[in-house]
Structure 1
């Protein structure tokens, strides 16, 4: 459909409408949407997603998963769940906003809101803090997440185009071609293409072998907001999306055996995606205090002088603000473009906050994320603090993490992957391996310059 009618947000679906006092968190079902959705229509859909994000799901909705684990592949537990809630393997939260709430819904979470994640593919039925079974992670904020995913999609397309060009050159020349892969000024290493169509990927850097940039999670292993949402709803709430746990993939209407099928349909997941994708990007908030403003101006220069912006890039260019859902690179178990007659297209450019984003000379939106959407080795034997995990995740090594986007960090302490570092000074000093040069340069600064850098970082606010 070319436009979006608010009345179409909530349909009767498979369930009758619930009275206002019902203990179900989902009072009505959300119908799937398609076509361009913009302005007030997009805001209305996002508001329904916010309602779900803040909803405290109950057993009447299907919360809980007695016969399923938190694994991203539908998996039955080795033994029946002893408790409805289990702090480690989950379910461990009533609402998304139970953890994503600082400073507002969609934000980060304190140490008390830490999540425990497993390798992901197998049974995640663990009940111990032993680091060989799970990694403890701090809750990150979601502001600007739609822009981050759009950047990742364009970067993935650039890298795939580079691989095709390398193979074309190898065929034309009848010899191996070593080809540099980059996108938006970020270097992802090199590939060597051969005339027979094979490719040597051993020199790739910071991205998976399929050249898909996965911008979400601290390890950079989640492709999209949709994948993240489907995973998280099962892990943290025991609310299972039909697009993964339904009969198509599992052969069961009620895979988790809680007595409720059809817990989350495509419409509910789409609304949650719309809420997250439309969250405004964080801002740089000018201090009212004159001394702070002066220090921050110097701190911004120090940030560049010691090389922090080699990874924490101030902005990346984005060609399009059209957010298609489902997206172009999702995999099985998440609704894909081929599964629907036409994807929905959320026109982020129609939102008020998008009009304030700066553009470059080519008309591209400059997304001020202070990141590069690339994985880096961030710890070593000399500086091991940020490599404090034992369990590898999705084939990503223990000391390799996604560059943290710095926008919003003034409102989202504590820091570090585990959320156990209380100050910016500490986390900067903890940079090792690829970040060691900048970390040591910071430590060697005069006190006034270190203070100025912190003063500038403290202007990176989530905003309204």
Structure 2
């Protein structure tokens, strides 16, 4: 839970539990977040206040238990509002299979933290919190997909990493285009933050102006548009905003205005269930939550005490983790050149020119020139701790290197990999590949079991043993280790934890 702060009054709109203007009864209602109010603060030179307001509003939204009068749930059919099982069989007027956008699963919850709760609020979910989805509306349980709930902490990190990686790839593609225009053909070896995404072959097919044909068959782990998509088990969402909007629709049955406009796409009798400002607030909140840490770091700053033998075990495990090849996909660290998160983003591929409802975001006051932003190295509200020495240590902020640049320990290459037949989904409704999954971040992995996309692994050892496909070689190397050496690897992983400092306790 976060520290509570007063909301800015200068725009005349408080966001808090109160007798409110959101649809539904007064008891427990919420006032919608006003995107124009956030913009007004920024235009008035109060960008920090806009960030603070958005963060606190997002906190309230994530914890709030919505009611049916406020739009939670959906018209499943059969008089029901919630379902854990996809109901493609319910095709009557307004029922599950007729909702728009097309429903993948649910609705199955009344608040974000009812699923994101382990080990603390905003965390992961146990296997009982798995969601079952049927994106293809097959109505066949054998084709359903099951997804484990992932934690929400510091999600500015994967988005900023992805944005910077994509820009690198765009520049390499453009350099190859220029070369192809000169020489007739060119090959681009795509490399971003030391991660290889394969090759592009460009061939000139026309002159004055130059026209090139691009062969994308050599790409690996990324779409042809070169947009690194860091969200979703399949890596199918580029932005935190897009992922949040989809989760609200599918899991909570809360349809954002930007998703369906003024329509009632889930036929529950409520429209405008989440405002544009609400989605901005939720995005900023999850982006600015505290980062996962390690037990060794907590020991180093005096927040817990580890035995020397345990520290040596973790260190040995980290070295062995790299030696057996796990770090080739679970990249331990990457730099972030510009550690400012902005909502909305300015980076091509991460900017929506149109909302899903077909309207222009600028017409809803969502503009890049008044983006809500924060410095990931310093501005997060949580986990600013005072050490025994009296020194302030911002445990929640992005780490920095010796030169002051951002340094993300996120343990992923943000690339899709073939994980083998045993881990394959029973269907491939997204067309990405049944066995293809985004490399799961290991930040906080010691706190977030069960593991893997469907929560099948009850221990980290089981999760390693399940790796196939491109992970088979590292699994084989792991199996050649002695039991003591395996224990060292597991100790390293268990050392990567989620921590929340509560100054009131």
TM-score normalised over the length of structure 2: 0.79
1:316 to 324, 334, 356: 334
| C-alpha distance after superposition, 1:95-144 (max 9, x if no partner) | 1111111112211000000012333xx6x5x765x132x31010011112
| Secondary structure of residue in 2 paired with 1:140 | coil
Distance verdict in 2 for CA 1:338–1:390, change over 3 Å = same
Written as runs of structure 1 = structure 2, the 5 A alignment for 1:50-199 is 50-66=59-75, 78-80=91-93, 89-119=105-135, 124=137, 130-132=141-143, 134-173=144-183, 175-195=184-204, 196-199=211-214
Q: Is the 8 A contact 2:426 2:434 kept in 1?
A: yes
| Secondary structure of residue in 2 paired with 1:7 | coil
Separation of aligned partners in 1, 2:12 and 2:326: 47
| Secondary structure of residue in 1 paired with 2:189 | strand
Unaligned 5+ runs, structure 1: none
Separation of aligned partners in 2, 1:37 and 1:187: 41
Q: Is the 8 A contact 2:73 2:107 kept in 1?
A: yes
Separation of aligned partners in 2, 1:308 and 1:115: 28
| Secondary structure of residue in 1 paired with 2:198 | strand
Separation of aligned partners in 1, 2:245 and 2:133: 15
Residue of structure 2 in register with 1:273 after alignment: 283
Separation of aligned partners in 1, 2:456 and 2:123: 17
Backbone CA RMSD of aligned residues: 3.1
Distance verdict in 2 for CA 1:25–1:401, change over 3 Å = farther
| C-alpha distance after superposition, 1:387-411 (max 9, x if no partner) | 2x11114221011100011010111
Residue of structure 2 in register with 1:348 after alignment: 375
Instruction: State the aligned residue count.
Output: 435
| Secondary structure of residue in 1 paired with 2:372 | strand
Separation of aligned partners in 1, 2:198 and 2:243: 27
Distance verdict in 2 for CA 1:157–1:440, change over 3 Å = same
Separation of aligned partners in 2, 1:61 and 1:298: 52
| C-alpha distance after superposition, 1:274-302 (max 9, x if no partner) | 11010111011126134322211211111
Residue of structure 1 in register with 2:34 after alignment: 31
Residue of structure 2 in register with 1:301 after alignment: 319
Distance verdict in 2 for CA 1:38–1:409, change over 3 Å = farther
Separation of aligned partners in 1, 2:470 and 2:46: 42
Residue of structure 1 in register with 2:485 after alignment: 449
Q: Is the 8 A contact 1:326 1:337 kept in 2?
A: no
Unaligned 5+ runs, structure 2: 1-5, 97-102, 205-210, 297-304, 385-393, 501-505
Q: Is the 8 A contact 2:154 2:289 kept in 1?
A: yes
Separation of aligned partners in 1, 2:274 and 2:397: 35
